[in-house]
Chains A and B, each alone.
Chain A
Amino acid sequence: MIASVACVSTAPLRLVTPEDRGVRVSQTGSVPMIDSESQLKALLAGMSGVDAVGVDGRCAKLATRSIKRSSKKAAIDLAISMVDLTTLEGADTAGRVSSLCTKALRPDPSDLTVPSCAAVCVYPDLVAHARYVLGPSSVAVASVATAFPSGRASLKVKLMDVADAVDAGADEVDMVIDRGAFLSGRLGQVFDEIVAVKAACGEAHLKVILETGELVTYDNVRRASWLAMLGGADFIKTSTGKVGVNATPQAALVMLEAARDFAESTGHIVGVKVAGGIRTTKQAISYLVIVNETAGSTWLTPEKFRFGASSLLNDLLMQRLKQQRGAYVRPDEFSGD
């Protein structure tokens, strides 16, 4: 078979200029206005698919990164500063929240070089108390809202939930999307809710929880990420921590790719939060590796990447001390909060 001249593509390929290399946050782009559900659907359906085998393979490879010595020390401190120290139990009390806030401010009272956590994350009725304990510190108060964790309530109730949290002094609101609506194709409804919640947040930052464990496919994760970012999310977050499958490296990878691409096309830098099931330093560092090699330095700050966790903090502190002393200390060296 010989190609006839007429069918040969000879388009010159401009090789990428140095200014265009790396992850370039757009200086001229803007977030497209969404006017209708059909426009939103067309936009999301036009996105490239995600190959599950490829995502699994990429994550497996990134998991082999070996982070040692000074890189490990730096990673541990960075991870501590990215923790949203969380308690979301029916049994939560003001006393429990007080001790959590104290812990977030000074994770290791015997070593003041340990950075504070990024935020404390509680239910709306405990926001005022957390605000009171934290005072004017750098540690933010985050509140889950919108009928967390299921999101099964009317929009009216959800907005009142958000207003409640914001009025009580929440700096950040973690909302859940309506997974039922998303899975049944009512994307406009999901979008409108995010827009409404964003408006209700006022100055507060909005984190949109996709609940990737319930979205199941990576295609859904990518589309839900874009949907949330288009709706005005300041952060996209993997999970509530209340379902069978919570944060996974794969979901984080797909969401970070989405956040990176969104920044490149619109100029808006949306943060990513992984939550649920992250308990060890090793896991936390492997997420930082994914951030480092997918979205890059702009996301390697507490402003753009968070861990929603509770027991992770003590493991980070223990590993930090291990790096200093060369040996592990007893778990009882650290407070149990």
Chain B
Amino acid sequence: MSESLANSQLGAFTYDPAPESTGVVRLQSSYGLFIDGTFTEPSSHDQFVTLNPATEEVLATVAQSSDADIDRAVTSARRAYDDVWSKTSGAERAKYLFRIARLIQERSRELAVLETLDNGKPIRESRDVDIPLAAAHFFYYAGWADKLDYAGFGLNPRPLGVAGQIIPWNFPLLMAAWKLAPALAAGNTCVLKPAESTSLSALALAEILQQAELPPGVVNIVTGDGQSGSALVEHPGVDKIAFTGSTEVGRLIQQRSASTPKHLTLELGGKGANIVFDDAPVDEMIEGIIDGIFFNQGHVCCAGSRLLVQESIADEVLRRLVRRIDQLRVGDPMDKNTDVGAINSASQLARIEELTAYGEREGATRYTSNCALPEKGYWFAPTVFADVAQSHRIAREEIFGPVLSVLTFRTPEEAVVKANNTKYGLACGVWSEKGSRTLWVAQRLRAGVIWANTYNRFDPTSPFGGMRESGFGREGGRHGLEAYLDV
């Protein structure tokens, strides 16, 4: 048999570039702070640049908030809470939320392109996941705003007041929606600080809030680095801190808000285990593993970054997995056929490179896709490590990149022990066609989210959050309201 017949090449039919047009986005050269319903200059006139991580080109300059700016924003939120929002009925608040949701849908193409420019994620994901889910969160919580009496927290539950919200760079607009929608539905006013490297979609959201005629000060959006975040956390006028980001920063925030009356919810890191039993639906399981770790370049706190596979099928799973990894299309995030985009920043790339080098040094076997990578920008080819031991750094620390560590197990007990052998507890996946086993395992896993025969599925009706060093508090669903009510 000829070589061509012996090996059927996947992806032999090549796809020409199909780039999404960036014409829908009108970038400004510099952006101010959104305080009290208008865009204002920062008091210090300090600016920093925001890059397109796929090209390293400067997109715009963004304002760096000083302590005085944060104070202005919190004061504005307090005034809006006292004078307007706390007196606005639930039904009235719902109208604004519905309006915001519809405006996100109307401007979805623009928002998707903007998100991909600033973040580096594939346009397919920003278009099909981030933006539709952000709108869905506003729609969902709009429905709750006038029904809080029936949310299970007693009659007439009270809002907390002013919420300071700090969000990460991996899902910029979606995380803003996760934070703002329940807070506003419950009757709080907000000061939102987007991540330093991804401020633009939050600022576009500010325009949408203006379009929706949300009363001034109900939402303030302040850009800046960790200093600005720290000022927001420490501001005495803030009643509630909601933070999504690294465990390291989360720990600092918890220390600083201790012995203050501030309410706190944290959504932190993770080292999710995808547990694969020998009776798993094999083709869908391979897709699930791929989705679990390569979705959004692995910049996902609940990523399935550890694969626990039953020993009897480990070789077969690894063979299929490597085949699928070779097929991933890595490159221009704006191309509609791209599967894996750019790493968000130089510092994140350095962290991924450091940990993967460690993996090799510690004796794990590395396979990296030999896909071509663009010359400019921050890139990391999809990588899998076999022969990983529980004690390896790549099995313990969150890499937050497209890197999968594969471990094996022999019995369900061993799978549970290994899955739980982490300081984190955010998400796990269980792959088996046997429902009783899936439930048995799920009951013993210490993680906030367990997916069965799927991974990385999100829905506004479903609560999301962690245990142990993955944080506390829930976002989404009825449970998500609790974080913004005085109950």
Contact = CB atoms under 8 A, between A and B. Distances in A.
B82 interface: no
Contact of B322 (A21, A67, A298): A21
A27 B6 CA distance: 7
Contacts of A190: none
B39 to A, nearest CB: 35
A3 B5 contact: no
A22 interface: yes
Interface in B1-35: 1, 4-18
Contacts of A8: 390, 414
B5 A13 contact: no
B132 to A, nearest CB: 13
Contacts of A13: 314-315, 318, 365, 386-387, 406, 408
A303 B179 CA distance: 55
Contact of B386 (A15, A58, A296): A15
A24 B417 contact: no
A24 B6 contact: yes
Nearest to A296: B8
Contacts of B367: 15-16
A126 B4 CA distance: 37
B281 interface: yes
Contacts of A68: 15-18
B251 interface: no
A57 B285 CA distance: 12
B256 interface: no
B420 interface: yes
Contacts of B315: 13-14
A64 interface: yes
B284 A7 contact: no
A69 B14 CA distance: 11
A13 to B, nearest CB: 4
B288 interface: yes
Given A22-B323, A25-B6, A66 B15 contact: yes
A48 interface: yes
Interface of B is mostly: mixed
Contacts, number: 175
Contact of B281 (A23, A54, A70): A54
Contact of B13 (A3, A50, A292): A292
Given A13-B406, A15-B367, A25 B5 contact: yes
Interface string A177-203: 000000000000000000000000000
B282 interface: yes
Interface residues of B, number: 61
Contacts of B6: 24-25, 27
Contacts of B389: 10
B32 to A, nearest CB: 36
A9 B420 CA distance: 15
B13 A54 contact: no
Interface string B140-175: 000000000000000000000000000000000000
Contact of A71 (B13, B279, B323): B13
A11 B414 CA distance: 13
A269 interface: yes
Contacts of B397: none
Interface string A54-96: 1101100000111111111011001000000000000000000
Contacts of A21: 319, 322-323, 326
A294 to B, nearest CB: 8
Contacts of A67: 15-16, 18
Given A48-B280, A292-B10, A25 B1 contact: yes
B55 interface: no
Interface string B444-455: 000000000110
Nearest to B12: A297
A300 B13 CA distance: 8
A139 B101 CA distance: 55
A164 interface: no
B414 A3 contact: yes
B454 to A, nearest CB: 6
Contacts of B319: 16, 20-21
Given A64-B124, A292-B12, A298 B5 contact: yes
Interface centre among A49, A53, A298 (most CB of B within 10 A): A49
- Which 6 pairs across A and B sit closest by C-beta, in order of nearness? A54-B284, A297-B12, A298-B8, A296-B8, A66-B18, A13-B386
Given A1-B417, A21-B322, A55-B284, 11 more contacts: A3-B414, A7-B411, A7-B413, A9-B409, A13-B318, A49-B279, A49-B433, A71-B13, A297-B4, A298-B5, A300-B12
14 contacts: A3-B417, A10-B408, A11-B314, A14-B318, A15-B367, A21-B319, A24-B7, A48-B279, A50-B281, A51-B454, A71-B16, A260-B8, A294-B10, A298-B9
